[in-house]
Amino acid sequence: MMERCEHTCDRIIKLDPKIRFVVATTGNGKPIVSRTRVGLVPIMDKKDGEIVLTEAALIIRMHREFDVKLGKVSYVIIKREKIAVLMFSLGDDLLYVSCDLGSNLCKLGEKIAGKVR
């Protein structure tokens, strides 16, 4: 599992220069493996980052409640004033991708989804 996550994170971080951070987590939001864009200055400290990943895991779990009626979630986009986040279900796990604004988020989401299927 770890090796698969490392390979996935390596591929995703290279897809777009606006991708800041990629992390594969457990279903509870605990990091398994991550990659950060070279030269990046983090926006949050480690503690806040852990809370955000827990929140992301909760969001994905909540969306799974409607899989039978609406179909499985391909990805979730959250656009904030400073960054955008794309979240992908990896079975029981999660892929969290943070990126700078200015990317076509739907196009990027589809590109990433194609790599994690």
Beta strands in the chain (DSSP E): 19-25, 31-36, 76-79, 83-90, 93-100
- Model confidence pLDDT, tens digit, residues 63-101: 888 999 999 988 999 999 999 999 998 888 999 999 999
Is the pLDDT at 1 greater than 70? The verdict is no
Task: Give the separation between CA 101 and CA 16, rounded to whole angstroms.
Answer: 12
Residue-range definition of the domain harbouring residue 102: 2-116
Q: pTM score, two decimals?
A: 0.92
CATH code, 101: 3.30.450.30
Asked if residues 51 and 64 have their Cβ atoms less than 8 Å apart, the reply is no
Q: What is the mean pLDDT of the chain?
A: 92
Record the tokens describing residue 64, joined without a space.
Answer: 């799974």
Structurally, how many domains does the chain consist of? Answer: 1
